Chain A
Amino acid sequence: MNDPNKVWLLPPFGQGEPKAFEAKPEILVPAMVAGWTQCDPPASEEVKTDVHD
């Protein structure tokens, strides 16, 4: 499960790598206004299921 207090945003115009932001309005709003848009977390951020039985 991903951290619910963290969101991943893509830079303006989709140029660049996604970046994690703290999910607080004072942090998100300036980024959103500047053109950052929400995206899926990178695959490496997904918590892998423990398959050891």
Chain B
Amino acid sequence: MSTTRLQELLIGFGKGKQTDIATANLVANIWQLKKLNAQLANPKLNTENDADEYGKGHEFATQTFKTSWDVSGTLEKYLSAEVSAWAMAFGLGKVVKSGTTPNFTYTCTPLFPANGDASELPYFSFVEQIRPGAGVVLDRMAVGCAVEGWTITVGSGPGRANSKITVEFVGSGKLTDPSGITLPAATLEKLLPSAALALSINGTDYVTNKNVVSVETSWKNNIRLDAGFFPGSGFQTPGDATTGAIRGRLEFGNRQGALKFTARFDNTSTELTKLKAQTTGTATITLTFDANNSLAITWQKVSFATAELGETDQIVTVAVEATPMYDSTNGIVSAVAKCGVDGICQ
């Protein structure tokens, strides 16, 4: 009897956005990428029972009821031009595509409902397969997923692990099993390694002065999961009230951006001065593979919330946490992602 090893796991997800939360991506709009983490996007069926109901003569359950479905997952990957374009577009929510092959440019910003934007993020389908077909072990698709948040970490060192992205997502609960999807070959990704970093924060170029040790930046949508269930939000099997409710919307909540970094600290360092003065400026994190493949994230206005001295490998460093703020012209954050893949979030 053969065992099933997790290395066989294939994942694919919507490169383009779904037309609505309940309509799955078509196969032409799905790409396959590799990932690092072992976690599966297991659907969770929430149930309840009749234990508390009177008239049975005892306190024990005699029946169970399917209440609702949850789906969540995490993608941990080496940072590449392709996945960063996808994460920025789906994670921030608003995207303008320009350029042409091999240089598509995706300019991404958060959605602002006050200015007419949607309060729901673009949706995608997420496919997990192990030996799809006759000897299937696993073949399912979560429909109506949205990016809950992303975190990019860049550290010191030559290995790929020094430049990674983690994307968390949640789903409407709607599942298609089997997925009915034949995944395309895995997309060849162009990595954005640590050595490709350019970093300018609050007026200081941390790469030119050779002081940067690590940087981490993140975005979180705080999606209102409970609000996804509303009267009429639907069921796992449309029209069948016994199959458990699914979410009919995934709205973002109070969003949060974060930026922190560690840099070497010497007599020319200005972090403590800027902390005391609450100096504001932009923060730009750029990683470049080549002219056609890159990621540039700009926090439009930051000040330093904390700046603490410490050490890294016996060298004095300063660990800074910045507070991203809203700029009246440019908003909170923007990302410009370039890659050779067309149709991301389109």
Contact = CB atoms under 8 A, between A and B. Distances in A.
Interface of A: 1, 4-7, 9, 12-14, 23, 25, 28-30, 32-35, 37-38
Contact of B116 (A14, A25, A30): A14
Given A4-B99, A7-B98, 9 more contacts: A6-B98, A12-B115, A14-B116, A28-B107, A29-B298, A32-B94, A34-B115, A37-B116, A38-B96
A13 B298 CA distance: 26
A25 B333 CA distance: 12
Contact of A25 (B97, B100, B115, B334): B334
Given A23-B105, A32-B107, A4 B115 contact: no
Contact of A29 (B105, B109, B116): B109
Contacts of B298: 25, 29
Contacts of B105: 23
A13 B107 contact: no
A9 B248 CA distance: 28
A33 B109 contact: yes
Contacts of B230: none
Main DSSP-derived SS at the A contact region? mixed
Main DSSP-derived SS at the B contact region? strand
Contact of A9 (B96, B112, B117, B329): B96
B331 interface: yes
B98 A37 contact: no
B336 interface: yes
Interface of B: 94-100, 105, 107, 109, 112, 115-117, 296, 298, 329-331, 334, 336
Contacts of A1: 100
A9 B336 CA distance: 17
A38 B329 CA distance: 18
Given A4-B99, A38-B97, A33 B329 contact: yes
Contacts of A32: 94, 96, 107, 109, 331, 334
B316 to A, nearest CB: 36
A36 to B, nearest CB: 9
Given A23-B105, A25-B107, A30 B329 contact: yes
B98 A29 contact: no
A31 B115 CA distance: 11
A35 B331 CA distance: 11
A32 B109 CA distance: 7
